[in-house]
Amino acid sequence: AATTTNSNSNNNHHHRLLCTLSAHTGSSVLAVRFSNSGRYLASAGDDAVVCVYAKQQDSHGALLARGNLENGGNKGGNTNAVEHWIRIKLCRGHGLDAVGLAWAPDDSHLVSCSLDSNTPIIVWKLTDLAEANGNYNNNGSNDNGSNNNGSNNDNDGHYYHHNYSNVLCNPYKVLGKGIHTSTVKGVTFDPAGTYLASSGDDPSVCIWRAHDDWGLERRIDAKSGIFRNWTTGGGGNNNNTHTITTLSAQSLFRRLSWSTDGAYICATNAVVRNKNVASTISREGWAVSGSKSAASGAVNLVGHKQPVVASRHCPYLLNNNNNNSNNNSKRSRKDDDEMDTDNNIDNNDDDDDDSEPDYSTLLALGDKRGFVTVWSTRKSRPIFKIQCSETRCTVTDLAWGRCPSSSSSSSSSSSS
């Protein structure tokens, strides 16, 4: 992890390596996600293990960070590190590479997905972390009013004092077996914590209830029209088996993303009319663009020649003040001109019902050739496009900074 600090000169920025973590025993870390509170970090790797870390404040932080990492030594135990993070949870249950992670909004659950067909999706119950979050208020104090460390920033100032005897974590729920008929490569939580979405190579997107029985709510597959229709058997044609294998090998990731306002899901690896697109699934009836009951928010984003493999919504909603002013002035003039007509009054009521929200959301997409685009719900075309990999390697993941104008991506040849 790296951070940017300001020196005495406003134009001079310095990047520091905060900490190096090496708790995984495999060769690759395939997913990392900060919790929504910002206090915890989860990682998943090709060793089929999911790790959860927390920042340590006390003087023994460096020693704990060294002793709690499996590889030990200088790999993650560097006493010169700016921050000291310790592994507080070790989640074992997958049989193959864990490739995706998603935190519940309240940090009470962590969900991981894997290439393992026996445990494609595992829900890890981390209520002790959620309870620890509840012990602090927004002023950097605990519930009894004492100050935690003098910081007013939840993400920077809070540290986790963990019961180290409870490190191992067993699966709470296993989802997707028999429903996803191929490997699952992406998961995302509804911002309200009501649903969980998963994406697999079937191809399909499954919506799960994130409460009670964690049962299946809806399955969106090739019949919806946003995925290639792969069939098996029929006519003795062996090309189908080959194409399914090709689809699975397109990418190691299907990083779908739920919009910040919860109105829709962005599904990656979608194909419409033989064009690679990112397709959004509306929360209203889980409809897609082009369906008979297409709902608000269901669109196909056309702008990538190669398969879109990663998506990430900006965590902020952007206020459209200028648009609101124009709409309000137009509405006032219209009301003055048409106030005396009953039909026009009815039309005005309909316009109010169909009016767009006074905010917009941003969405970043990455494809298999290293191209990244940024989209706004107010525009029909991407507002930004860049090739982040000179060698045209796959964009493996995307992340937004605290400022909506900044984002970063990682590719298979490098990370940032």
pLDDT in tens, 312-328: 999 999 987 755 444 44
The pLDDT assigned to 198 comes to 98
Give whole-number Cα distances, 222 to 216, 227, 265, in Å. Answer: 17, 5, 16
Q: Which residue has the tokens 């946003």?
A: 226
Alpha-carbon dihedral 112, 115, 117, 123, rounded to 10 degrees? 0
Using DSSP's 3-state secondary structure scheme, residue 235 falls into coil
Domain ranges of the chain: 19-66+83-129+165-191+211-219, 221-229+252-320+359-401
The pLDDT assigned to 390 comes to 78
Element (H, E) at 188: strand 184-189
Using DSSP's 3-state secondary structure scheme, residue 156 falls into helix
From the list 88, 116, 89, 84, the residue with the least C-alpha distance to 100 is: 116
Question: Computed from CA positions of residues 282, 287, 291, 295, in that sequence, does the dihedral angle turn out positive or negative?
Answer: negative
The pLDDT assigned to 406 comes to 59
- Quote the CA–CA distance of 346 and 25 in Å, as a whole number: 66
- Quote the CA–CA distance of 384 and 226 in Å, as a whole number: 24
Q: Which CATH architecture has domain 221-229+252-320+359-401?
A: 7 Propeller (2.130)
Q: Which residue has the tokens 């009521």?
A: 349
- Residues of the chain with pLDDT below 70 are 1-13, 58-79, 132-165, 230-250, 291-294, 322-356, 403-416
- Quote the CA–CA distance of 393 and 160 in Å, as a whole number: 37
The pLDDT assigned to 32 comes to 96
- For 190-247, strand residue ranges (E) read 195-200, 204-209, 216-220
Which residues share a beta bridge with 271?
Answer: 276
Alpha-carbon dihedral 253, 259, 264, 269, rounded to 10 degrees? -20
Domain 19-66+83-129+165-191+211-219 matches domain 221-229+252-320+359-401 at the CATH topology level:
yes
Give whole-number Cα distances, 125 to 131, 171, 172, 209, in Å. Answer: 12, 7, 6, 15
Q: CATH assignment of 19-66+83-129+165-191+211-219?
A: 2.130.10.10
Q: What is the pTM of this model?
A: 0.78
Which residues share a beta bridge with 409?
Answer: 398
State how beta strands 371-376 and 384-387 pair: antiparallel
